Amino acid sequence: MMHKIELKNHQREIYFFRLRLFLSLGFVTVMFIILLLRFFYLQIIRHDYFETMAESNRIYVVPIVPNRGVITDRNGVVLARNYSGYTLEITPDKIADIDATIAQIGQLVEIKPKDLRRFKKLMSERRSLQTLPIRTRLTDDEVARFSAQLYRFPGVEIKARLFREYPYVETTAHLLGYIGRINQQEIDKLEEEELATNYLGSDYIGKTGIEQRYEAEMHGVTGFEQVEVDAGGRAVRMLARSSPQSGKNLTLTIDAKLQEIAVQAFGDHRGALIAIDPNNGEVLAFVSQPGYDPNLFIDGIDTENWDALNNSLDVPLNNRALRGQYPMGSTIKPFMALAGQYYNARPATREISDPGYYTLQGSSHRYRDWKADGHGRVDLFKSIVVSCDTYYYGLATELGIDRMHDYLEKFGFGKKTGIDLEGEVSGLLPSTAWKMKRHKQQWYAGDTVSAGIGQGYHLVTPMQLAFATATLANNGVAYKPHLVKDIQHAANEPQAVPQPLYDVKIPAEHLDLVKRAMVAVTQPGGTAVGASLGAPYSIGAKTGTAQVVGMKQGEKYDASKLSEYNRDHAWFIAFAPADKPRIALAVLAENGGHGGSTAAPIARKVMDYYLLGKVPTPTKTPDAKVSAEHD
C-alpha cells in the first residue's frame, strides 16, 4: 500500500518527522540506560571480583625457598650440607627444538654425555613448564661466558641455588638417603596434605632415609615476596615480603667416625651393622653394605649409573639393615635360654646328653647338631657357649612354638622396631596361628625343632636383632631405637629425654646366667674365641649362621659367583663392656660363612673405636687369627 501525497502538508510532515525523532530519542535513552546498568553491574555489583582480577594481574607472588636443614652427627660432623652454585636450566615447553638448543649451548659450556643422559631421563618424567637442569655446578668462568649470550637462548636460564651434598658419600647412603626432584606423585601428596604452598619454589624433597623421614622439619617455611609486575611480567616494585624460615638442623645419634670404621671394616663384604647405645636407644652406627653415591640422585641419576646400581648382583640400593630379612640362626639361643627359664621349661642346671643329634619321640628322624659327635653333657650355660643345637631342639619342643612366639615377641621380633626411617619391615615370628592363617596348615612338631635354632620360618632384620640385643644388654629395659638426637630448637624449649618403651622383666639370675654365658662365648672354648682377644673390656656375644635357602639373584647369572652367593650368612651380636654395656650391636655378613670369622672382627673394630677410641690400622687386621670353630 502506498499513499501518494499529492498535496504536501507541511505541518503534517513535521509532525511525522518529530514522531520519528521522538522514537529515536527513546531508543537513545534505552541504550544509555543499558550502558548505565552495565556499568553498575561491573563497577558496583561485581567490583570485588574485578578488583581481585586486577590485583592478580599485577601482583605476582615469588616464593623464596628456605635453606634446608643441615644434618650433623652426634659430634657435630657435617653429614649433609648445602652449598651455593649455579645451574643451567632449560624449560622444554618454551623451546621448539631442544636438541638444537642443547647443541648451541654445548658450544659455550661443556655438556658431558652424562649430563645429556640425565637430561633425557628428566625430560621423560617432567611436569609441564618445569625447568630441568642441563648442567649443574657451573664454574664462574662458564657463568660469565654464558650470561653474555643468554639473550640468544629464550627458555634457558642460569639459576643460583643451594645444592645438597653428602660428603660421606656411600658411607651414609642408606642412613641419610637423599633428596631429589619432586615428582608428580609427590606433588599430589603435598596437595593432599595441604603443603603445596610451602613447596611452591622448592625443586627438591627428601626421597629416602633421614632426608625423607624428617622432610617436614628440614624443609623449612617458604617465604614470599609480593612483586608488582607489568603486563610483560617485569617486576616494577616490591609490595611485601615474608622471610623464609630455614629448615631445622638435625643432630643425629650417629657417630660419623664409628660409621666410617664400620663401613671400612666390612671391606668387600655385603651386609649390615647396627650399633645401639642400650641405655637410651641411640643408634651409633647404621650400615648397609654396599652403599651407593646419594649425590648422583639429587638432580636425577643418569641411565648408565642407574643401570649399574640397579642391575648389580650386590643390590647396593637395598637397605639391608632395615629391609633385609634373614633366618636368625643361632643368635636365637640366648633368647631361647631366657624363655626356657621364664616358663620354667627346663631348669638351667639340668644337663642333657648330646649324642650329636636329636630325635622326636616316636620318630627316627635325626636333627643333627653342627658337631657330628655331639657336645657331651650340656647345661644351659654351656649350650650358649658352644652353641649346642641338640640342647635347643629339645628346649624348643618342651616350650612349644606358641610360648616361644610369646616370649620372643617381648624382644621385638616379628614387629617393626619403630626406628625413625621409612620402609622398615617386620621380619617373621612364627606361631601355630600364623601358620594356619598363612599356609592353611597345622603346625608340626618338626617345625618346632628347627625353630629352636633359628632356622625354618623365623626371619629377622639386622635392625630387629640389634634392638633385641640392646634390650638384653640393658637387662630387659627396651628403648626405642632412634637416629635423631636433636632437632634444632629454641633455647628455652625443653628437650625430650628418651623414655624406656617397656621392661621385659627378666629375673636377675636368669639374666646373669645368660650374660655370663655370652661373655664366655668370646673366651677360650666359646664359638667366638677370637672376638675378645686382647680387648681390655669384656664382651658378651653370640654367633650365628643363617643358611641361604635361595637368595634372590639378579637377572645376570654369574656361574663363577654362584658358590659365593650361596654361602651361609654370618651373624654376630654383641654388647660391651659386658658388666655395664655402652654399646650393643648386630652384624650381618652376607655369605660370610661363620659368624665368628667374618662378622665378629667387624664388630670388634666398632667396639674398639667406640669404647677405646682406637682407630684400626689400615693394614688388614688379623681376620685369620680369630678362630671360629663354628657359628
Q: Which residues bind another protein (CB under 8 A)?
A: 2, 4-5, 8, 13, 16-18, 20-21, 24-25, 28, 31-32, 34-36, 38-40, 42-44, 46-47, 49-51, 53-55, 57-58, 228-232, 236
Look up 532 and say whether it is catalytic: no
Question: Nearest approach, Cβ of 159 to another protein (angstroms)?
Answer: 26
Q: 61 or 158, CB closer to another protein?
A: 61
Q: 35 or 559, CB closer to another protein?
A: 35
Locate 105 and state its grid cell.
649451548
Q: 1 or 491, CB closer to another protein?
A: 1
Q: 46 or 625, CB closer to another protein?
A: 46
Question: Nearest approach, Cβ of 225 to another protein (angstroms)?
Answer: 17
Which alpha helices (H) appear in 296-361, and where do they start and end? 303-311, 320-323, 333-342
With H, G, I as helix, E, B as strand and everything else as coil, classify residue 328.
Answer: coil
Q: Which residues contact 55 (CB under 8 A, 6 or more apart)?
A: none
Number of H helices, E strands in the chain: 22, 22
Amino acid, res. 265: A
Angle, CA 173 vertex, CA 170 and CA 177 arms, to 5°: 155
Number of other residues whose CB lies within 10 A of the CB of residue 2: 4
- Radius of gyration of the chain from its Cα atoms, rounded to whole angstroms: 36
Question: Nearest approach, Cβ of 242 to another protein (angstroms)?
Answer: 22
Nearest CA among 283, 285, 395 for reference residue 334:
395
* DSSP tag of 548: -
Question: Nearest approach, Cβ of 249 to another protein (angstroms)?
Answer: 42
* Residue linked to cell 637377572: 555
Q: Which residues contact 535 (CB under 8 A, 6 or more apart)?
A: 576, 604, 607, 608
Question: Nearest approach, Cβ of 132 to another protein (angstroms)?
Answer: 24
Question: Nearest approach, Cβ of 24 to another protein (angstroms)?
Answer: 6
DSSP letters spanning 346-369: S-TT--EEE-SEEE-TT---EEE-
Catalytic residue among 202, 246, 330, 450: 330
Q: 2 or 96, CB closer to another protein?
A: 2
* Residue linked to cell 688379623: 622
Enclosing H/E stretch for 2: none
State the Cα–Cα distance between residues 206 and 128, nearest whole angstrom.
22
Q: 15 or 83, CB closer to another protein?
A: 15
Cβ-contact 154, 101 below 8 angstroms: no
Task: Show which residues are catalytic.
Answer: 330
